Chains A and B, each alone.
Chain A
Amino acid sequence: MALPKYTETRYRVWHYSYLFICACVFIFLIAPLFVIFPLSFNAEEFLVFSEGMKNLDPDAFSLRWYKDMIYGTKNPWGLAAKNSFIIAIFATIGSIILGTLAALGLSSRYMPYKGIIMATLISPMIVPLIISGVAIFFFMAKAGLAATHTGIVLAHIILGTPFVVITVTATLTGFDHSVTRAASSLGSNPVNTFMKITLPLILPGVISGGLFAFVTSFDEVVVVLFLAGLENTTIPIQMWTGLREQLSPTILAVATCLIILSTLILVSAELLRRRSERLRGINR
């Protein structure tokens, strides 16, 4: 974005201040995440940079809080992590199956009442979470599923499917339906056609929708707060309780692990998006 030589001074000034503003906003967005890293290696109990850390004294750093996270007595993180992963994985699978099927139907040009059905299917994304939480809690309480893993998984399927529906429908907009017709004319049954032809082509969309669903479930706290009992505690619930009571460095160790996890998810989502665009023949 180099400026041409003839640019007037006032535009030059404006341009650099614009870049400066952008830099500030980028720092505002990303810097908070990086504060957590060094502090999670703090050897002391306080959540401020100690003198030793400022001088890069190796003694000021330790893995103490990571050890506490994993081996600490009466530490709930192990159970929480196990629950979180189980719930998120099942919720993702459920969202992918239900969402992909619905997206296939919605992308068909024969689909009746498309508008209203689409609006219903993505409504959990638009309705504020607190309201979804109350409504889902009423259902689960009536169905006897409150404070069970099943209940939380179902709740997260509700919240996760809109993402799958949206990403898969988007993938299907560029889909060439003649390939499925070709498969049928060559004698393939619909299930076979779907597994061998359609699915591989829309897979990037399915997986990125699944990633959204996974993250939604893994990070969800509002609905779980209503639904979970002591047995179903998840990482977000533990963090919520921890943050409310006392901000301990162990939470920062957990947070660091979560940031690493989200980085991995981000990278895979980006790679998938590019692959999907390549497959659909969209070149930028």
Chain B
Amino acid sequence: MSSETQQILTTDGIPLSVSLKKAERKNKIKAFLLVVPLLLFLIITYILPIGDMFMRSIDDKMVTNMLPKTFTAMEKWDGKEMPPEEVFAGFYSDFKILVQNKEHGKLAQRLNKEKNGFNSIIKKLFRQVQRNKIDEGQSIKEQIMKVHKRWRDVEYWQAIKRTAPPYTTAKYLKGMDMYYGPDGNIMQVEEDRRIHRILWLRTLEIAFFVTLFSFLMGYPIAHLLATLPMKYSNLLMICVLLPFWTSLLVRTASWMILLQQQGIVNDFFVMIGLVADDNRPEMMYNKVGTYVAMTQILLPFMVLPLYSVMKTISPSLMRAGKSLGGTPFIAFWKIYFPLTIPGIGAGCLLVFILAIGYYITPALVGGASGTLISNQIAYHMKTTLDWSFASAMGLMLLTGVLVVYWVYNKLVGVDNIKLG
């Protein structure tokens, strides 16, 4: 409202602009209140737990809490020579408490991960402490150093010092097959033990190819569905929608039946003479099975966005292109294809994101070479119970997905995603 005009008043004598603003604020609050229940629910049960995952993944407070006096004393130690008497005294009093609480085993386990050889020397020290062999009147440094020669090795004290910070990025490094070396440098795991890198690459590879196959198969049928007359296309649409609504496990089960060695696909290959009856190829429990089953399962997610975009493209555009002298191929490539790019983007994004986090189908038909990063996360959650490592890998995967999502949003825009 411009200031030159006279202020318009409502019947109550309040300026109209004020009154309108008030009404608008009321509407804003009303709208917001409707969203609040779901928003709060999701924040508490979902968003905060993802934050909790992050805290777990970097948490390393165990040793920090076990050896408080040691670490206070270590603050003055330069970390090059053997630590001074106070560090030993602090360590001894911390250790006595741990022995009383029977927690020295946990400490040994954790420190042994930091540097090999801690297990045995902590056990030795434990026996000495239990038998009250250590005389608190004399130099504790001398006595501890006598327990085992490794207690005289400065590298072990450096290893203890490294566990002092309450947070660590070690789990993330482990997820990339790296670790902290003795002097705090980042080191690579030996080449034959780099399992996680193989899994990341395999996950990317499978997600990429499944997306590619889905695109190559989905594009023609989406085009056919969009151009056929309604009464035919509705019928064919069932072929896309029925698998979409059918249980994932049912579809995986049917692929397990089809692809088994005595299965129908192999029967067919034998029938047409492609393979010999006694030499049926193994199509399950390897990558082939994973590709085939995942492509079929994710194909509807490609077809539906493509279809909804193609449906809006007027057929007269292609006709115009052809009438202006383009061959059908040129007309398709120059006119139709560019118009379908939002659909391609949405379909590929959906399939890629779904494929990269896939777990069930690879676990059932993938065998050893079909294991993906999600399987590894589930394995650490359920079997090794290394939850902080599972969290770290989960968050690395999530970061990857969010990057893909962000790039897509920049390129195409998220608003184009439609559900069937």
Contacts and interface: CB of A to CB of B under 8 A. Distances in A.
Interface of A: 1, 11, 18-19, 21-22, 25-26, 28-30, 32-33, 35-36, 39, 47-49, 98-99, 101-102, 104-106, 108, 110-112, 117, 120-121, 123-124, 126-139, 142, 154-155, 157-158, 161, 163, 165-167, 170, 212, 215, 218-219, 221-222, 225-226, 236, 239-240, 243-244, 247, 251-252, 255, 258-259, 262-263, 265-266, 269-270, 273, 284
Given A48-B263, A111-B28, A137-B381, A124 B253 contact: no
B279 interface: no
Contacts of B248: 219, 221, 236
B220 A22 contact: yes
Contacts of A124: 42, 46
B250 A131 contact: no
Contacts of B93: none
For the residues of A in contact with B, the DSSP-based class is: helix
B246 A126 contact: no
Interface of B: 24, 27-28, 30-35, 37-39, 41-50, 52-53, 56, 217-218, 220-221, 224, 227-228, 230, 236, 238-258, 260, 262-264, 296, 299-300, 311, 328, 353-354, 356-357, 359-360, 363-364, 374, 377-378, 381-382, 387, 390-391, 394-395, 397-398, 401, 405, 418-420
A141 B37 CA distance: 22
A28 B296 contact: yes
A232 to B, nearest CB: 16
A117 B52 CA distance: 21
A153 to B, nearest CB: 11
Nearest to A267: B238
Contacts of A239: 247, 249-250, 253
Given A25-B217, A111-B31, A163-B419, A139 B397 contact: no
5 contacts: A1-B227, A32-B255, A136-B49, A222-B360, A255-B253
B37 A135 contact: no
A130 B220 contact: no
Pairs A-B, 8 closest by C-beta atoms? A128-B357, A105-B34, A108-B31, A105-B35, A32-B254, A110-B27, A135-B49, A102-B38
The winner among A101, A126, A134, A142 for most chain B CB atoms within 10 A is A134
Given A1-B227, A29-B243, A138-B52, A36 B250 contact: yes
A160 to B, nearest CB: 11
Contacts of A108: 27, 30-31, 34
Given A36-B250, A221-B360, A226-B381, A135 B28 contact: no
Contact of A104 (B34, B253, B353, B381): B34
A135 B52 contact: yes
A144 to B, nearest CB: 13
Contacts of B224: 18-19, 22
A120 B296 contact: no
Given A136-B46, A259-B250, A102 B34 contact: yes
A243 B53 contact: no
A170 B419 CA distance: 10
A259 B244 CA distance: 11
Contacts of A32: 243, 251, 254-255, 258, 296
A225 B378 CA distance: 9
A284 B40 CA distance: 39
Contact of A128 (B311, B390, B401): B401
A104 B32 CA distance: 10
Contacts of B354: 128
B243 A30 contact: yes
A67 to B, nearest CB: 20
A132 B249 CA distance: 19
The winner among B256, B257, B263, B418 for most chain A CB atoms within 10 A is B257
The winner among A32, A236, A239, A243 for most chain B CB atoms within 10 A is A32
B257 A47 contact: yes
A212 B420 CA distance: 11
Nearest to A26: B239
A105 B33 CA distance: 7
Contacts of A36: 250, 253-254, 257
Given A35-B254, A221-B248, A123 B46 contact: yes
B356 A128 contact: yes
Contacts of B38: 98-99, 101-102, 121, 161, 165
A258 B364 contact: no
A258 B257 CA distance: 17
A1 B224 CA distance: 9
A112 B357 contact: no
A98 B37 contact: yes
Contacts of B31: 105-106, 108, 110-112
Contact of B419 (A47, A98, A121, A167): A167
A212 B360 contact: no
B377 to A, nearest CB: 5
Given A1-B227, A112-B28, A132 B41 contact: no
Nearest to B34: A105
A165 B35 CA distance: 10
